[in-house]
Homo-oligomer: A and B are copies of this chain.
Amino acid sequence: MLDKSDYIPLYVQLYRKLREQILNGEYKQGEFIPSETEVMKAFQTTRGTVRNAISLLVNDGLVQQVRGKGTLVLLSPLKYSITNFGGFTDYLNSRKEIGYSKVLEKSNVSIDGVEYYKLVRARGVKKEDKIIYLMIDKSLLPVSVFPGLDQYDFEKESLYQVFREKYNIFPKRTEISLRPEIINQQTREILEIDETEQALLKAEGSIFDQNNIEIEKVKILYAPSLDFNIMTEIN
Protein backbone atom coordinates (compact mmCIF):
# COMPACT_ATOMS: atom_id res chain seq x y z
CA MET A 1 0.00 0.00 0.00
CA LEU A 2 2.81 2.41 0.88
CA ASP A 3 5.64 3.10 -1.57
CA LYS A 4 9.01 2.94 0.15
CA SER A 5 10.77 4.11 -3.00
CA ASP A 6 8.73 7.31 -3.09
CA TYR A 7 10.49 10.43 -1.85
CA ILE A 8 7.41 11.25 0.21
CA PRO A 9 7.82 9.88 3.75
CA LEU A 10 5.73 6.82 4.55
CA TYR A 11 3.92 8.57 7.39
CA VAL A 12 2.88 11.41 5.09
CA GLN A 13 1.65 8.91 2.50
CA LEU A 14 -0.28 7.13 5.23
CA TYR A 15 -1.63 10.42 6.61
CA ARG A 16 -2.96 11.36 3.17
CA LYS A 17 -4.63 7.99 2.70
CA LEU A 18 -6.31 8.15 6.09
CA ARG A 19 -7.37 11.75 5.55
CA GLU A 20 -8.84 10.81 2.19
CA GLN A 21 -10.81 7.98 3.78
CA ILE A 22 -12.15 10.24 6.50
CA LEU A 23 -13.13 13.03 4.12
CA ASN A 24 -14.71 10.50 1.77
CA GLY A 25 -16.92 9.43 4.60
CA GLU A 26 -15.55 5.89 4.97
CA TYR A 27 -15.17 6.71 8.63
CA LYS A 28 -17.87 9.04 9.84
CA GLN A 29 -18.18 11.66 12.53
CA GLY A 30 -18.10 9.98 15.93
CA GLU A 31 -16.83 6.65 14.62
CA PHE A 32 -13.45 5.12 15.39
CA ILE A 33 -10.88 4.58 12.68
CA PRO A 34 -8.97 1.26 12.88
CA SER A 35 -6.62 0.98 15.83
CA GLU A 36 -2.95 1.83 15.49
CA THR A 37 -2.09 -1.87 15.55
CA GLU A 38 -4.60 -2.64 12.81
CA VAL A 39 -3.38 0.20 10.60
CA MET A 40 0.19 -0.94 11.21
CA LYS A 41 -0.63 -4.45 10.00
CA ALA A 42 -2.81 -3.28 7.11
CA PHE A 43 -0.06 -1.08 5.71
CA GLN A 44 2.85 -3.35 6.66
CA THR A 45 4.64 -0.76 8.71
CA THR A 46 5.48 -0.02 12.33
CA ARG A 47 3.54 1.72 15.04
CA GLY A 48 5.83 4.73 15.10
CA THR A 49 5.03 5.47 11.49
CA VAL A 50 1.32 5.03 12.13
CA ARG A 51 1.50 7.36 15.12
CA ASN A 52 3.33 10.02 13.08
CA ALA A 53 0.57 9.84 10.47
CA ILE A 54 -2.22 10.05 13.02
CA SER A 55 -0.57 12.97 14.78
CA LEU A 56 -0.89 14.94 11.55
CA LEU A 57 -4.60 14.12 11.52
CA VAL A 58 -4.83 15.31 15.12
CA ASN A 59 -3.07 18.55 14.14
CA ASP A 60 -5.66 19.04 11.41
CA GLY A 61 -8.39 18.60 13.99
CA LEU A 62 -9.80 15.69 11.98
CA VAL A 63 -9.48 13.08 14.73
CA GLN A 64 -9.07 12.90 18.48
CA GLN A 65 -7.28 10.09 20.26
CA VAL A 66 -8.86 8.59 23.36
CA ARG A 67 -6.77 6.34 25.52
CA GLY A 68 -8.19 2.88 26.05
CA LYS A 69 -10.78 3.42 23.34
CA GLY A 70 -9.40 4.45 20.00
CA THR A 71 -9.09 7.23 17.47
CA LEU A 72 -12.30 9.17 16.98
CA VAL A 73 -13.32 11.05 13.85
CA LEU A 74 -14.11 14.71 14.57
CA LEU A 75 -15.63 16.04 11.42
CA SER A 76 -17.96 19.00 11.28
CA PRO A 77 -18.48 19.01 7.55
CA LEU A 78 -20.36 22.28 7.43
CA LYS A 79 -17.76 24.32 9.24
CA TYR A 80 -14.77 25.78 7.54
CA SER A 81 -12.25 25.69 10.31
CA ILE A 82 -9.47 27.73 8.84
CA THR A 83 -6.17 26.86 10.34
CA ASN A 84 -5.20 26.12 6.79
CA PHE A 85 -4.02 29.30 5.13
CA GLY A 86 -2.46 28.98 1.72
CA GLY A 87 -4.18 26.44 -0.46
CA PHE A 88 -7.85 27.36 -0.45
CA THR A 89 -8.51 25.24 -3.53
CA ASP A 90 -6.68 22.28 -2.04
CA TYR A 91 -8.61 22.74 1.18
CA LEU A 92 -11.94 22.69 -0.64
CA ASN A 93 -10.93 19.83 -2.93
CA SER A 94 -10.08 17.72 0.08
CA ARG A 95 -13.64 18.33 1.22
CA LYS A 96 -15.06 17.48 -2.20
CA GLU A 97 -16.27 21.00 -2.77
CA ILE A 98 -15.48 23.17 -5.74
CA GLY A 99 -14.01 26.59 -5.21
CA TYR A 100 -14.64 29.64 -7.35
CA SER A 101 -12.30 32.57 -7.75
CA LYS A 102 -12.85 35.97 -9.29
CA VAL A 103 -9.80 38.04 -10.13
CA LEU A 104 -10.30 41.58 -8.86
CA GLU A 105 -6.87 42.93 -9.67
CA LYS A 106 -3.78 41.74 -11.48
CA SER A 107 -0.70 43.93 -11.75
CA ASN A 108 3.01 44.30 -11.14
CA VAL A 109 4.30 46.18 -8.15
CA SER A 110 7.69 46.98 -6.69
CA ILE A 111 8.22 47.01 -2.94
CA ASP A 112 11.59 47.84 -1.42
CA GLY A 113 13.19 47.22 -4.79
CA VAL A 114 11.68 43.74 -5.19
CA GLU A 115 9.34 43.04 -8.09
CA TYR A 116 6.10 41.23 -7.35
CA TYR A 117 3.07 40.05 -9.22
CA LYS A 118 0.05 41.29 -7.37
CA LEU A 119 -3.10 39.20 -7.51
CA VAL A 120 -6.33 40.02 -5.72
CA ARG A 121 -9.10 37.46 -5.78
CA ALA A 122 -12.50 36.95 -4.23
CA ARG A 123 -12.91 33.30 -3.37
CA GLY A 124 -15.88 31.19 -2.52
CA VAL A 125 -17.99 28.13 -3.07
CA LYS A 126 -21.17 27.40 -4.96
CA LYS A 127 -24.32 26.92 -2.92
CA GLU A 128 -27.58 26.29 -4.77
CA ASP A 129 -26.35 27.76 -8.06
CA LYS A 130 -25.13 30.89 -6.34
CA ILE A 131 -21.53 31.67 -5.60
CA ILE A 132 -20.97 32.65 -1.99
CA TYR A 133 -17.71 34.53 -1.56
CA LEU A 134 -15.94 33.67 1.65
CA MET A 135 -12.70 35.61 1.48
CA ILE A 136 -10.72 38.22 -0.36
CA ASP A 137 -7.17 37.13 -0.95
CA LYS A 138 -4.39 39.56 -1.86
CA SER A 139 -1.17 37.85 -2.93
CA LEU A 140 2.25 39.25 -3.70
CA LEU A 141 4.39 36.77 -5.62
CA PRO A 142 8.08 37.51 -6.26
CA VAL A 143 8.80 37.70 -9.99
CA SER A 144 12.22 36.17 -9.32
CA VAL A 145 10.63 33.05 -7.87
CA PHE A 146 7.81 32.75 -10.41
CA PRO A 147 8.98 34.15 -13.79
CA GLY A 148 6.10 34.24 -16.27
CA LEU A 149 3.42 33.65 -13.65
CA ASP A 150 1.23 36.32 -15.24
CA GLN A 151 0.47 34.05 -18.21
CA TYR A 152 -1.83 31.88 -16.12
CA ASP A 153 -5.52 32.50 -15.56
CA PHE A 154 -6.18 32.13 -11.87
CA GLU A 155 -9.90 32.17 -12.30
CA LYS A 156 -9.45 28.76 -13.91
CA GLU A 157 -6.28 27.45 -12.31
CA SER A 158 -5.28 26.94 -8.70
CA LEU A 159 -2.32 29.07 -7.68
CA TYR A 160 -0.87 26.29 -5.58
CA GLN A 161 -1.33 23.73 -8.31
CA VAL A 162 0.67 25.97 -10.66
CA PHE A 163 3.35 26.33 -7.96
CA ARG A 164 3.68 22.59 -7.77
CA GLU A 165 3.29 21.58 -11.38
CA LYS A 166 4.93 24.44 -13.28
CA TYR A 167 7.53 25.70 -10.82
CA ASN A 168 8.12 22.61 -8.70
CA ILE A 169 7.64 24.70 -5.57
CA PHE A 170 5.89 23.23 -2.56
CA PRO A 171 4.47 25.50 0.14
CA LYS A 172 5.57 24.15 3.45
CA ARG A 173 5.13 26.69 6.23
CA THR A 174 3.18 29.84 7.00
CA GLU A 175 3.77 32.74 9.37
CA ILE A 176 0.55 34.64 9.83
CA SER A 177 -0.61 37.33 12.18
CA LEU A 178 -4.26 37.98 12.88
CA ARG A 179 -5.88 41.36 13.31
CA PRO A 180 -9.36 42.78 13.09
CA GLU A 181 -10.17 45.14 10.27
CA ILE A 182 -13.05 47.53 9.76
CA ILE A 183 -15.10 46.52 6.74
CA ASN A 184 -14.96 48.93 3.83
CA GLN A 185 -17.81 49.32 1.37
CA GLN A 186 -16.17 47.41 -1.47
CA THR A 187 -15.43 44.45 0.75
CA ARG A 188 -18.92 44.57 2.15
CA GLU A 189 -20.40 44.32 -1.32
CA ILE A 190 -18.15 41.54 -2.54
CA LEU A 191 -18.60 39.35 0.50
CA GLU A 192 -22.26 40.40 0.87
CA ILE A 193 -21.82 41.23 4.51
CA ASP A 194 -24.75 42.19 6.69
CA GLU A 195 -24.96 45.75 8.00
CA THR A 196 -24.78 44.46 11.56
CA GLU A 197 -21.19 43.33 11.03
CA GLN A 198 -18.63 46.08 11.29
CA ALA A 199 -15.31 44.31 11.44
CA LEU A 200 -13.82 41.12 10.09
CA LEU A 201 -10.76 39.05 10.60
CA LYS A 202 -7.64 39.77 8.60
CA ALA A 203 -4.75 37.32 8.28
CA GLU A 204 -1.52 38.77 7.05
CA GLY A 205 1.83 37.12 6.60
CA SER A 206 4.15 35.04 4.48
CA ILE A 207 4.32 31.57 3.06
CA PHE A 208 7.57 29.67 2.71
CA ASP A 209 8.58 26.68 0.61
CA GLN A 210 10.57 23.58 1.47
CA ASN A 211 13.81 25.58 1.34
CA ASN A 212 12.46 28.32 3.59
CA ILE A 213 12.27 30.78 0.69
CA GLU A 214 9.43 33.28 0.99
CA ILE A 215 7.20 32.48 -1.94
CA GLU A 216 4.14 34.57 -1.17
CA LYS A 217 3.02 37.49 0.94
CA VAL A 218 -0.69 37.25 1.67
CA LYS A 219 -3.42 39.37 3.13
CA ILE A 220 -6.72 37.58 3.55
CA LEU A 221 -10.03 39.08 4.65
CA TYR A 222 -12.44 36.48 5.96
CA ALA A 223 -16.21 36.72 5.74
CA PRO A 224 -17.89 36.54 9.15
CA SER A 225 -19.54 33.27 8.11
CA LEU A 226 -16.17 31.55 8.24
CA ASP A 227 -15.51 30.25 11.71
CA PHE A 228 -12.00 30.66 12.92
CA ASN A 229 -11.46 27.90 15.43
CA ILE A 230 -8.32 26.98 17.27
CA MET A 231 -7.65 24.05 19.54
CA THR A 232 -4.59 24.03 21.74
CA GLU A 233 -2.98 21.71 24.24
CA ILE A 234 -1.47 22.85 27.52
CA ASN A 235 1.76 21.14 28.57
Chain A contacts to B: CB under 8 angstroms? 12, 15-16, 48, 56, 59, 66, 83-87, 170-182, 198-201, 212, 224, 227-235
Contacts and interface: CB of A to CB of B under 8 A. Distances in A.
Contacts of A224: 179
Contacts of A176: 229-232
Contacts of A84: 232, 234
B15 A228 contact: no
B178 A201 contact: yes
B173 A230 contact: no
Contacts of A86: 234
A227 B66 CA distance: 33
Given A229-B176, A232-B83, A232-B85, A182 B201 contact: no
B180 A180 contact: yes
Nearest first, the 9 A-B pairs at minimum CB distance are A180-B180, A199-B199, A180-B199, A178-B228, A174-B232, A177-B229, A176-B230, A182-B198, A171-B234
A7 B54 CA distance: 25
A200 B199 CA distance: 9
B182 A234 contact: no
Given A201-B179, A201-B180, A231 B15 contact: no
Contacts of A15: 235
B235 A12 contact: yes
Contacts of A235: 12, 15-16, 56
Contacts of A180: 180-181, 199-201
Contacts of A173: 231-234
Contact of A174 (B16, B198, B231): B231
Contacts of A172: 233-234
Nearest to A15: B235
A178 B178 contact: yes
Nearest to A81: B177
B234 A177 contact: no
Given A56-B235, A83-B232, 4 more contacts: A86-B234, A179-B228, A180-B199, A180-B201
Nearest to A174: B232
